Chain A
Amino acid sequence: MLFEVRNLRVHYDKVAALKGVSITIAERELIALLGSNGAGKTTLLRTISGLKPPSSGEIWFDGRRVDGCPPHEIVNLGIAHVPEGRRVFPYMTVFENLKMGTFRRKDRQQISKDYETVYEHFPRLKERRAQYAISLSGGEQQMLATARALMARPRLLLMDEPSLGLSPIMCQEITSIMTEIQKTLGVSILLVEQNAQLALELCDRAYILKTGKIALQGRPQQLKNNHEMKKAYLGM
């Protein structure tokens, strides 16, 4: 098992955002994390990437315990996080943004090759590589944020609502990119999505989070057939 969260509890001051969450992610798996706003999805991602320390529980990655590690160490270990809202560096060029993704890497030759690979998969970024990130469209910024995370050569990619604010066409692009990442690059993905339809199409398994706890989990087919789930959580 590549990645595992065991009974994670996270508090903001006295308020519990996660009340004992456990999930697993295997190699090359795309796991979806669904749920309404405020359920705790983003919190889980932020705790995994080290931005927020957990109150209790364990996070295991590649046989090592990583809960409580600071963000820069988490990146070192092979987990990259594409945060909610893209969060590209606005006054830095596309290239500089990508370069930041390689911050912790030391293998220069491979890094140069990786730029090429990224430009192949994201031709639009190659076009705009000398432009300030702030001048990119929403979709392009999403690609940039994703590419930036990929430049860190992660084994696990955390993606927080990549489809937010994107046109249907861009959503398609992002979806196909995610599939590529999973299948071709062999990177596992933990995908947080509001857009349940989209997520269920893509994922191998899904977890449904409700007010800080896992309410349901299973394969997309199972979940789609679950009426209760359809109504309450997916709005279908």
Chain B
Amino acid sequence: MGEFAQIVINGLIIGLSYVMLSLGITLTFSIRRVINIAHADIYMLGGFMAYFGSQFGINYFLVLMAALVVLGCLGAVLDTLLFRRVRDKGPAGPMVLSLGLMYLIEGVALLAFGEKVKGVPSVFKGVIHIGSISFGVERLIVMGISLLLITGLFLFLGRVKWGQAMRALAQDPEAAYLQGIDINRMSMLCFALGFSLAGAAGVLLTPLFYVGYAVGSTLIFKCFMVLVIGGLGSVLGCLVGGLLLGLIEAFVVAYVPGQLAVLIMFALILVILLVRPQGLMGRGELT
């Protein structure tokens, strides 16, 4: 029983981080119709911020705030300087741009941080016992903060005018323009939010795992899987897809030996793609 709960928690934590990452991609896709391949590298940047934070003994929450703000600004800047320019230029301009961006960020990371993977020591030590189950405090905190951030975003999209405007923009861009919604501002906001979340995920999860310059490349693939499962334009799909993927991964890895595990995962993805290609909730708009 304890083991089961352990696996569930692990699955949820990983799942929530997948959600945080994929939300950013979903947002930017809905507004700018671009799959930002460089997105997962923002996670990596957040992770390195956590690393440096721990090296210099900076308060954990301060680092988290910094990541949210700094990386958010980075998102807005990159959108204004780069993604806005390639908007009308050909079908895959944005795609190639994001590829170039990925190489750029990873290249800079390689220069700055070297090839080796780095670990960050846990900030919160301790274990909580509930009955026969024990949970690491750190993991619980990570889960809590993740949930907070994700809920925040959902509330923003659902209740706040600007968030609703984002949804409107995703559902019918021209009609949105006619209500006075400015796509450039919205897009900046979108990128800022997406990058913030990705960076936060990096700060939160790196102490539990590790960070390296190439971490983004591995993660982006997981994001794609989330998008496939959940549906491309749907934030709810992101949530469901990410959690599902995290949980499935946790269970499969725990109970099924190596190779088979991976195969099962992929078989699942393929089935979903072929049976319901738009994902569980996908409708092509931000819903």
Contact = CB atoms under 8 A, between A and B. Distances in A.
**A contacts B directly (C-beta below 8 A):** yes
Interface of A: 49-51, 70-72, 75-76, 80-81, 83, 87-92, 96, 99-101, 103-104, 148-149, 152
A103 B285 contact: no
Contact of B180 (A72, A91, A92): A72
Interface in B152-208: 161, 164-165, 167-168, 171-172, 174-182
* Most chain B beta carbons < 10 A, residue from A50, A100, A149: A100
A71 B171 contact: no
A49 B171 contact: no
B177 A100 contact: no
A100 B285 contact: no
Contacts of A148: 179
A100 B164 contact: yes
A91 B179 contact: no
* Most chain B beta carbons < 10 A, residue from A80, A87, A89: A89
A179 to B, nearest CB: 23
Given A91-B285, A96-B164, A100-B179, 10 more contacts: A51-B178, A71-B177, A72-B177, A72-B182, A81-B178, A87-B178, A91-B287, A92-B171, A100-B168, A103-B180
A91 B164 CA distance: 11
B178 A80 contact: yes
B171 to A, nearest CB: 5
Contacts of A101: 179
Nearest to A50: B177
Contacts of A71: 177-178, 180
Interface in B201-225: none
A94 to B, nearest CB: 13
B180 A104 contact: yes
Given A70-B182, A99-B164, A100-B165, A89 B175 contact: yes
Contact of A88 (B161, B165, B175, B283): B175
Given A91-B171, A92-B164, A76 B180 contact: yes
Given A89-B172, A90-B171, A91-B285, A72 B181 contact: yes
A75 B179 contact: yes
A152 B174 CA distance: 16
Nearest to B177: A71
A71 B182 CA distance: 8
A87 B285 contact: no
A236 B166 CA distance: 46
A87 B174 contact: yes
A85 to B, nearest CB: 9
Contacts of A70: 177, 182
Contacts of A49: 178
Contacts of A51: 174, 177-178
Nearest to B186: A72
A72 B168 CA distance: 14
A113 B175 CA distance: 24
The 8 nearest A-B residue pairs measured at CB: A75-B180, A104-B180, A87-B175, A71-B177, A72-B182, A72-B180, A100-B179, A91-B287
Contacts of B283: 91
Nearest to B164: A96
B226 to A, nearest CB: 20
A103 B167 contact: no
A104 B185 CA distance: 13
Contacts of B285: 90-91
B275 to A, nearest CB: 23
A54 B53 CA distance: 53
Nearest to B182: A72
Nearest to A97: B168
Contacts of B171: 89-92
Contacts of B168: 89, 92, 96, 100
A152 B178 CA distance: 10
A87 B171 CA distance: 10
A51 B180 CA distance: 11
B179 A152 contact: yes
5 contacts: A71-B180, A89-B168, A91-B287, A92-B164, A96-B168
Given A90-B285, A91-B283, A100 B174 contact: no
A91 B167 contact: yes
A80 to B, nearest CB: 7
B49 to A, nearest CB: 35
Nearest to A96: B164
A51 B177 CA distance: 8
A103 B177 CA distance: 10
